[in-house]
Amino acid sequence: MFRSLTARIALSFVFLTLALNIALLGVLRYAISSSYQKGIDTFLLEFAEGDLPDPDTPSTIEDLKADMERDPIGKDFYLRVLGPDNEVLVAAGMPDHPGLAPVRALAANTRLGHQRIDTVGLANGTELRVVTRKFEKGFAFQAGALLLPDPALEGRVMRFGLLSVVLLSLVAASIGWWMARRAMKGVRDVTLTARDILKGDLAARVPARQSVVEVSELANAFNTMLDRIETLVKDVKGVSASMAHDLRGPLTRIRGYSELALRGEKSGEDYKETASLVVEETLALEGLIDTTLEIIALDARTHPTRLVPTDLSELMHDTLDIYGDLAEEKGIHLEFTKQGETMARVDPATMRRVLANLVDNAIKFTPRQGTVRLSVEGLRYQVVLVVSDTGPGVPLADRSRVFDRFYRGDTSRGTPGYGLGLSYVQAAIRAHGGRIEIDDEPNGGARFVLWLPDSPER
């Protein structure tokens, strides 16, 4: 039972209540004892400060003895008249015994014409509260009372205390159990949601509104994780379906080439041509699979990257050099501009492929005599890269899906490819802590804007 956090919290409430009650009983008992002692002090001081006769004559001593015999006091009280040599002249109440010697010694330590009040511990463990008044001629008067609180009052206090301990412990256990159950409700919701997901319900979510802030934060974090998992599962299903569709074409062609090679006798050149076509299709399949796996690794942040300080303007220059001949062949003009500091910590190989994909697409969709522009600008804490063209642009209807894996818009149906280039670009930029946006050029054409932090930690 006590392995349950709810039970432990309730038990903690009980122990805390017990400790507070015991402390309260101690304080109450001390208050009663202090009040009792204060009452005794008031009585003794009033008695000592009253109109007492100066016991300096035999007649006065005899009168005091006679008064004590007429009105005897109880054995819990102490009354003594001492002579200048500290001898007992009058004694009443508590009988003399050796344990009272420290009490009488107080008279010798009291100055003439003064009085004092003290607590003296006796041999039997009790305490005597005693006031000593010393007259001018050396005689002393002592009156005292045992510090014995009322047993009946103490009994009532203890009974009340024990009853309150029991009742408050029950109340504390109930409140603790209720509060613990209320606080742990969110944790139970998380557990139940996890069980639903194990049963296959990936849409299950933890109720976001919880009574405890920390549990609400846990629920929100858990739901965010579930959203991410659901998205990844949907992506995997989508990729699987798309790959199955896109793999069918190359596999069908490979099968067709192979069947043609097996029909009848062919010349050596025919076999070489068929083998070349099979190799070409196989390489295309290999590229499709490799790119898909790289995108998945980039999305999952498991792709091996080597982040080093890199001048992005140099990477753009390298890309322009690679595609210069192709652009010239198509009659496309390439432009490049640079502003500010363009250093950033990136993986050079990944960024080269990102720029290559964007420039390749721009050249592919830009008509003859068009222009492809590349620019890089260093801002505070980030670097902005822009690749734009004067082609047909990306229709608004396609912009929300253009980064989806294997998606090909209407304008790209007639061009070679599998629809993975922009998916790779987005995954790579996100893996670097950046983002990518699509816009239109003022005079027509697509404009891809890449925002990269100058350091991935930002």
Q: Over the stretch 419-429, which tens digit does the pLDDT of each residue have?
A: 777 888 898 89
Whether residue 314 sits in one domain with residue 416: yes
Q: Residue 298 above 70 pLDDT?
A: yes
Residue carrying structure tokens 């209807």: 397
CATH, residue 339: 3.30.565.10
What CA–CA distances, in Å, run from 38 to 34, 129, 151, 391?
Answer: 6, 10, 17, 102
C-alpha–C-alpha distance, residues 365 and 417, integer Å: 13
Tell me if 284 is assigned to some domain: yes
pLDDT at 244: 64
Whether residue 444 sits in one domain with residue 340: yes
- Which of 252, 282, 299 delimits the end of a domain? 299
Extended strands (E) in 94-241: 115-121, 127-134, 140-146
Residue-number span of the structural domain to which 291 is assigned? 213-299
Q: Over the stretch 20-74, which tens digit does the pLDDT of each residue have?
A: 777 777 777 777 777 777 877 887 777 777 766 666 667 677 777 777 666 667 7
Percent share of the chain, pLDDT over 90: 17
The mean pLDDT value for 207-211 works out to 66
C-alpha–C-alpha distance, residues 334 and 440, integer Å: 18
- Which of 108, 136, 152 delimits the end of a domain? 152
**How many independent structural domains does the chain possess?**
3
Whether residue 344 sits in one domain with residue 417: yes
Tell me which DSSP letter residue 80 carries. E
Q: Residue 332 above 90 pLDDT?
A: yes
Tell me if 197 is assigned to some domain: no
> What is the full DSSP assignment across 410-456?
GGGTTSSS-S-HHHHHHHHHHHTT-EEEEEE-TTSSEEEEEEEESST
Whether residue 356 sits in one domain with residue 276: no
Q: Residue 226 above 90 pLDDT?
A: no
Tell me if 353 is assigned to some domain: yes
Q: Residue 415 above 60 pLDDT?
A: no
The mean pLDDT value for 345-370 works out to 91
C-alpha–C-alpha distance, residues 451 and 433, integer Å: 9
Tell me if 221 is assigned to some domain: yes
Q: Over the stretch 103-149, which tens digit does the pLDDT of each residue have?
A: 777 877 888 878 888 888 877 777 888 888 888 778 888 888 887 76
CATH, residue 29: 3.30.450
pLDDT at 338: 93
pLDDT at 458: 47
Tell me which DSSP letter residue 118 carries. E
Band the pLDDT of 384: cuts 50, 70, 90.
very high
Percent share of the chain, pLDDT over 70: 81
pLDDT at 157: 67
Tell me if 159 is assigned to some domain: no
Whether residue 315 sits in one domain with residue 294: no
Torsion angle defined by CA atoms of residues 380, 383, 389 and 394, in that order, rounded to the nearest 10 degrees = -90
CATH, residue 295: 1.10.287.130
Both tokens of 398, joined, read 């396609």
Q: Residue 457 above 60 pLDDT?
A: no
Burial of 431 (0-12, 13-18, 19+ CB in 10 A): buried
Q: Residue 414 above 60 pLDDT?
A: no
Whether residue 421 sits in one domain with residue 384: yes
Q: Over the stretch 425-445, which tens digit does the pLDDT of each residue have?
A: 898 899 888 999 988 877 788
Q: Over the stretch 167-190, which tens digit does the pLDDT of each residue have?
A: 777 777 777 777 777 767 777 777
Whether residue 365 sits in one domain with residue 262: no
Tell me if 443 is assigned to some domain: yes
Q: Decide which of 204 and 54 is more confident.
A: 204
Q: Over the stretch 6-20, which tens digit does the pLDDT of each residue have?
A: 677 777 777 777 777
Tell me if 271 is assigned to some domain: yes
Whether residue 316 sits in one domain with residue 288: no
- Which of 255, 277, 299 delimits the end of a domain? 299
Tell me if 458 is assigned to some domain: no
pLDDT at 154: 63
pLDDT at 175: 76
Range among 4-18, 20-34, 298-312, 325-339 with highest mean pLDDT value: 325-339
Q: Residue 302 above 50 pLDDT?
A: yes
Range among 7-21, 88-102, 232-246, 347-361 with highest mean pLDDT value: 347-361
Asked if 384 contacts 398 with a C-beta cutoff of 8 angstroms, the reply is no
pLDDT at 211: 61
Q: Residue 89 above 90 pLDDT?
A: no
Asked if 355 contacts 316 with a C-beta cutoff of 8 angstroms, the reply is yes
The mean pLDDT value for 388-415 works out to 72
What CA–CA distances, in Å, run from 204 to 176, 187, 200, 360?
Answer: 31, 15, 9, 43
Whether residue 94 sits in one domain with residue 17: yes
Whether residue 227 sits in one domain with residue 142: no
Considering the entire predicted model, what is its pTM? 0.51
**For 304, phi and psi rounded to 5 degrees?**
-65, 120
Whether residue 127 sits in one domain with residue 31: yes
Whether residue 314 sits in one domain with residue 275: no
